[in-house]
Amino acid sequence: MKTIHWFKPLILLILVAYPAMCVVWPMPQMMSTTSTVLTINSKKFTFQSSSKSDILHQAFERYMNISFIPLGKQIQPQLSESFNVTASSGSLTSLKVNVHSSKEELNLDSVENYTLTVTAKGATLDADEVWGALRGRLETFSQLVEPTESGMFQINETKVIDFPRFKHRGMLVDTARHFLDMEVLYEHIDAMAYNKYNVFHWHIVDDESFPYDSKVLPEVTAKGSFNPKTHVYTADDITKIIKYCRYRGLRVIPEFDTPGHTRCWGRSKPNLLTKCYTGFLPNGKTGPINPIFPENYEFMKTLLSEVHKRFTDKYIHLGGDEVLLNCWKSNPDVRNWMVEKGLGNNISLLESYYESRLLGIASNLGYDYIIWQSVVDNNVKVMPSTVVNVYKGGFPAELDRVTKRNFTTILSSCWYLDIYAYGPDWKRYYSCEPFSFNGTQKQYDLIIGGESCIWTEYVDDTNLISRVWPRASGTAERLWSAKNVNSIALATPRIHDFRCKILIRRGIRAEPVTGPGFCEYEFGM
């Protein structure tokens, strides 16, 4: 009995999709499957494309492994050439990939749409750009393939028409509160790709450490890193991460947060940070970068010029959150300078002054920038192209305000993964809807996506992966799938399956989030 449901309305297609053995996460925009099962002998299966794209062909290699993981451990298939075809409606020997454009720029406007058709007559994947081929053919296709007891694989006849709801689907990773090893970052980036994330927001430095290995400001790294030999990212490391991400369709956006969050930078630069006062005396504490010294803008220019050479994305995140304005206010030199400059005692004007000079430096380097919401909340004048990263509570009202002011925006407020609650707290992330304010279509269009954030006060190599996954998969589906794919009841068995059948089997140490139960093949079994 063969049932076909091509192009039924979305809600029906989702229901139809459930009986299939496969799990696809995040849920495609449109997906239909039939009961026809095709057998795949992984030894004879090929990915085919007329494209010469290195990105595509490297992805072929990766996905030959992860699409065909036999039952049992996470190992590569060792099928013999002779095999018995199990009862099935046909077999599948290749997937043909058509990429219509040879454009391989990876940026906010990269096109990730794809169409995947798997029938007894063959399997094809159409994508406008190579990025859609990565998402579609490779990730979605590989999730559709099921291992069988015979050592063969199978796939249901399937049609997928897919595209992301939001074009910026990022994750902030903080490597300053704890250092993260390259190998752990690679594993994490793999998991991001499996979840169709497309931006690695690298919060590389902060108050606690400066693991960015600067050649132009070596003393800042020497005194600011936990250890300048072992706990830094060299230029070469950064290049490797960017390349690793690019081949998986992820942009890398570095964050150099100023003028706050710079405490350890001051260890090598006595005049970089503002001395905070209690009454008439310095109290021994330091605050934000001191905005009254011209050399501090030179410092930022030197730093950002090097950053610009190492990181290739058009965007940089310039931070701007949690500036201790009271420290600025407490310092008599700062107060005097403000009066001289005609800023009076309006500390917001001082913040504006710092930000406008900083943003000017970044613009001159050719950067577009993202900043935390505080900057525009404090009415600092920024370029119209600025992307505002909303991170505080009460985000619906803030998204409303920011988009009314015509800013492009990304949301992080509800996706802080470091804040951990007992139980299935992935539901919180899953349920957070960016359009939960009463806005116009124009306002909604300005919300280009969002980011999960893993701040690492209590996270390092030991627990990054298990802390983040699959909780961050909740965010991933929210940002990729249609707005109405929002049923916790339907998502619960799917995220369980996605963890067991995709993440765990690919060696990602993802923790259980759906309560008591088991995976057919447990991690490490």
* Residues in contact with a copy of itself by the rule CB under 8 A: 176-179, 181, 183-184, 208-209, 226-227, 230-231, 418-424, 456-463, 466, 504, 509-513, 515-518, 520, 522-525
Q: How far is the C-alpha of 272 from the C-alpha of 460, rounded, in Å?
A: 29
Q: Cβ(315)–Cβ(387) under 8 Å?
A: yes
Q: How far is the CB of 262 from a copy of itself (least distance, A)?
A: 14
Q: How far is the C-alpha of 109 from the C-alpha of 107, rounded, in Å?
A: 5
**CB-based contacts of 516, cutoff 8 Å, min separation 6:** none
Q: How far is the CB of 285 from a copy of itself (least distance, A)?
A: 17
CB-based burial, 19-39: b 16+ in 10 Å, e otherwise: ebebbbbbbbbbbbbbebbbb
Q: How far is the CB of 524 from a copy of itself (least distance, A)?
A: 6
Kindly report the length of the chain: 525
Distance of CA 435 to the CA centre of its chain: 20
Q: How far is the CB of 507 from a copy of itself (least distance, A)?
A: 11
Q: How far is the C-alpha of 222 from the C-alpha of 199, rounded, in Å?
A: 29
Q: How far is the CB of 183 from a copy of itself (least distance, A)?
A: 7
Nearer to a copy of itself, 104 or 511 (CB): 511
Q: How far is the C-alpha of 499 from the C-alpha of 482, rounded, in Å?
A: 21
Which residue in 219, 295, 322, 433 is the catalytic one?
322
Q: How far is the C-alpha of 86 from the C-alpha of 161, rounded, in Å?
A: 29
Nearer to a copy of itself, 306 or 460 (CB): 460
Q: How far is the CB of 184 from a copy of itself (least distance, A)?
A: 7
Two structure tokens written together for 508? 């990602």
Q: Cβ(114)–Cβ(137) under 8 Å?
A: yes
Q: How far is the CB of 411 from a copy of itself (least distance, A)?
A: 21
Q: How far is the C-alpha of 183 from the C-alpha of 185, rounded, in Å?
A: 5
| Secondary structure (DSSP) of 185-211 | HHHHHHHHHHTT--EEEEE---SS---
CB-based burial, 233-254: b 16+ in 10 Å, e otherwise: beeebbeebbebbbbbbbbbbb
Inter-axis angle of helices 182-194 and 235-246, nearest 10: 20
Closest CA to 157 of 71, 40, 65: 40
Nearer to a copy of itself, 280 or 422 (CB): 422
| Secondary structure (DSSP) of 261-273 | S-GGGGGG-TTTE
Nearer to a copy of itself, 79 or 184 (CB): 184
| Secondary structure (DSSP) of 350-385 | HHHHHHHHHHHHHHHTT-EEEEEHHHHHTT----TT
Nearer to a copy of itself, 401 or 467 (CB): 467
Nearer to a copy of itself, 5 or 506 (CB): 506
Q: How far is the CB of 352 from a copy of itself (least distance, A)?
A: 30
Nearer to a copy of itself, 164 or 512 (CB): 512
Q: How far is the C-alpha of 257 from the C-alpha of 216, rounded, in Å?
A: 18
Nearer to a copy of itself, 324 or 448 (CB): 324
| Host H or E run for residue 57 | helix 54-67
Nearer to a copy of itself, 129 or 207 (CB): 207
Q: How far is the CB of 75 from a copy of itself (least distance, A)?
A: 16
Distance of CA 257 to the CA centre of its chain: 18
Peptide bond into 291 cis (omega under 30): no
Nearer to a copy of itself, 342 or 524 (CB): 524
Instruction: Please indicate whether residue 433 is annotated as part of the active site.
Output: no
Q: How far is the C-alpha of 53 from the C-alpha of 504, rounded, in Å?
A: 30
DSSP single-letter state for residue 221: H
CA 273, 274, 275, 276 dihedral sign is negative
Q: How far is the CB of 179 from a copy of itself (least distance, A)?
A: 6
Which residues are tagged catalytic? 322
